[in-house]
Homo-oligomer: A and B are copies of this chain.
């Protein structure tokens, strides 16, 4: 938990080890927003309970409650707190509208181009084996090829700027942390990062932040 600069404690409903919870928690720590984790049990399916579905009709974590305000979708929650506490903690949105536009461009790139293939890889190589579900080799192969193409573009981009949106760490970088962590540590695909000099340096940089180290300890 962070030292509070606010009177309101944000409730983060969802287990702290879930990837999308981690995205939100890293953001709240960067923004020095005090929070409390309400760790529902997703292995028992508590995210499909009527009570949870009232807060999040899609039945996925996390949801935040901030007083009587409820919000879900991890990237939307990150945007809300980054804007609400713009001048508190790390500025994750850039200084100008043009910088913010580039943060949004790369945050959308993460959501639309990077996330789908990395999600499929993690699903089939980490979660399906654990749960006894079949692994679709065709999906694994196609997803790895797609992710390679995206990472080639990242390599080119990161050869020209230190972070995705420019010379500043932003939501665009932060949003890559949870699933790439699995890629590097849990499914034997670290080479996708390590074979690319600038991506590899970027990964070392963004994972060395105190916020991310704290998230992994939660």
Residues of A within 8 A of B (CB): 57-58, 69, 71-73, 75-77, 79-80, 83-84, 97-98, 100-102, 104-105, 107-109, 111-113, 116, 150, 153, 156-157
Contact A80 B101 (CB under 8 A): yes
Closest chain B residue to A112, Cβ basis: B111
Contact B72 A105 (CB under 8 A): yes
Contact B58 A153 (CB under 8 A): yes
**How far apart are the CA atoms of A84 and B100 in the complex, in Å?**
11
Contact B116 A71 (CB under 8 A): no
Chain B nearest CB: distance from A159 CB in Å?
Answer: 12
Contact A73 B153 (CB under 8 A): no
**Copies of this chain, count:** 2
**Contacting residues, chain B, for A83 (C-beta < 8 A):** 97, 100
Contact B102 A71 (CB under 8 A): yes
Contact A76 B107 (CB under 8 A): yes
A-B pairs, 8 with minimum CB distance: A76-B104, A73-B108, A80-B101, A76-B105, A57-B153, A76-B108, A73-B105, A79-B104
Contact A111 B108 (CB under 8 A): yes
**Contacting residues, chain B, for A156 (C-beta < 8 A):** 57
Beyond the given A69-B98, A73-B105, please list 14 additional residue pairs across the A-B interface where CB-CB is below 8 A: A57-B153, A57-B157, A58-B150, A58-B153, A71-B102, A73-B104, A73-B108, A73-B109, A77-B101, A79-B101, A79-B104, A80-B97, A84-B97, A111-B111
